[in-house]
Structure 1
Amino acid sequence: MSAILTAENLYHRVPTSEGPLTLLNNISLQLARGESLAVTGASGSGKSTLLGLLAGLDKPSEGRIWLAGEEITAMDEERRAALRARCVGFVFQTFQLLPGLTALENVMLPSELRGERGADRRAQEFLSRVGLEHRLRHYPRQLSGGEQQRVALARAFASFVADDAILFADEPTGSLDAGNGAKVIDLLFRLNAESSTTLVLITHERRLAERCTRHLYMAAGCAEHGTSVPDKSNLPEESA
């Protein structure tokens, strides 16, 4: 399988009063279409920095990244934004739903911003697939945490307009209790299988990391690759 995501020799540094601080130190990876990657490690190890670079939200200090066959490190922000709109979805720990929009309107928004026809139908389809067809007209404040995260999942998957889609998720179950977290994990991988997307997940949960086909353990900006969750990740079995 050809790679949908490739990173070569990534470094990322930020200036401080005491000199440059290295957040990422020579990280390389390659992910094929349909694979799932769990990124684990302690807080401050560089996980979120790496996710932002891989998704094209920022540029590394050094190194190159290819996403869906295009080198995003050679693009300006406008071109990166256009690529993200075509084939990148995001799921955030804090849901990032707009409070003034209904569940349906939140899911429709990415498609409407691109001027696509059928945004309403597509949004209803994905809300139905996440079991929220009876909550279309409800606002985020009227939904439970688990329901809000399901709306966020529906929005992410409904936003794809390309076959080479990739979903980035930063602690997608971090704000949920154990029961809702388990449901969201099952739903995430079911939608992934149905849509043949690629997943890159940051997580502190072992049960989520173990569902992924690939693992990247991070410590102090460095990375170790593997096909199983390393014991040193010290991941809990479930959310508190």
Structure 2
Amino acid sequence: MQDTDTLSALTIEKLNHSVTTSNGQLDILKGINLHIKDGESVAIIGASGSGKSTLLGLMAGLDQHTEGSIRLYGEALEQLDEEGRAILRGRYVGFIFQSFHLLPSLTALENVMLPNELKGNRKADDRARELLEKVGLSHRIEHYPRQLSGGEQQRVAIARAFASAPKILFADEPTGNLDGKNGVLVEDLLFDLNKQQGTTLVVVTHNPELAARCDRQIEIHDGELKES
């Protein structure tokens, strides 16, 4: 394994992605080429259905692309099976899902502790409490997801993504379920992580204020990239 400090965070070359539907093949992404530097913040914008979330999931190794190459810190995702991609995600990746993906049987605290517990980190509890306080939920740590509002669940999901101090953080509409005050709070957390820890930040968003805070904005139109 090469030293990640000497590598680009992400390099995509000639990426195509298609799915088979009842009406035949649907081309979602077409000829994507993209280079993201280590520590850079990038916003991916575009209309609904343009392929933004699909691209984000492929970059994070959550799914396997049809053609082309995606290299995440020097590792070619197309050369890895699901287990290999999972190991790579555990090493480098944090992901904020638009639909939260919290475990319903765990409290807010336990959900945020989980990534570090899986790594055997004995300070998982302290780190989780610190992050839940940062997202304004220190009073809700013993509540289960069903007892939380959509905005509160989103903030728990964000705290969980931050828990293991990822090398690269992918965020799918991270402020989409939040009011103005909490949206700004989350934006500040994202960019604090980016600046203080050098975390590479890749965000899909419809929020123009959030996009404007990133180093670069990249637009997807009908599955093709255009630099803004």
TM over 0.5: yes
C-alpha distance in 2 between matches for 1:144 and 1:205? 21
Task: Output one character per residue of 1:48-71: Cα deviation in whole Å (capped at 9) or x when no partner.
Answer: 111111011112111101112211
Q: Which residue of 2 aligns with 1:229?
A: none
The residue number in structure 2 matching 1:176 is 178
Q: Deviations over 1:89-144 (max 9, x none)?
A: 11122322223222210101122233333222222232233343343223334444
Match of 1:154 in 2: 159
The amino acid across from 1:56 in the alignment is G
**1:105 aligns to what?**
110
Q: Which residues of structure 2 form unaligned runs of 5+?
A: 1-5
Distance in 2 separating the partners of 1:184 and 1:35: 18
CA change 1:77–1:178 in 2 (3 A) is same
Q: What is aligned with 2:47?
A: 42
2:225 pairs with 223, 228, 233, which one?
Answer: 223
Query: In structure 2, the residue corresponding to 1:15 is in which secondary structure?
Result: strand
What runs of 5+ residues in structure 1 fail to find an aligned partner? 227-240
Q: Verify: 1:123 aligned to 2:125, yes or no.
A: no
**In the alignment, does 2:99 pair up with 1:94?**
yes
SS of the counterpart of 1:3?
Answer: coil
Q: How many residues align?
A: 223
Going from structure 1 to structure 2, the CA distance change for 1:131 and 1:22 (only over 3 Å counts) comes to: same
Once residues 127 and 15 of structure 1 are traced to their aligned partners in structure 2, the CA distance between those partners, rounded to angstroms, is 41
Identity over the aligned pairs, expressed in percent?
Answer: 61
2:73 is the counterpart of 1:68: yes
CA–CA distance in structure 2, aligned partners of residues 223 and 93 of structure 1: 22
Q: Please, what is the CA RMSD of the aligned residues?
A: 1.9
Give the TM-score of the pair, scaled to structure 1. Answer: 0.85
CA distance in structure 2 between the aligned counterparts of 1:20 and 1:100, rounded to whole angstroms: 39
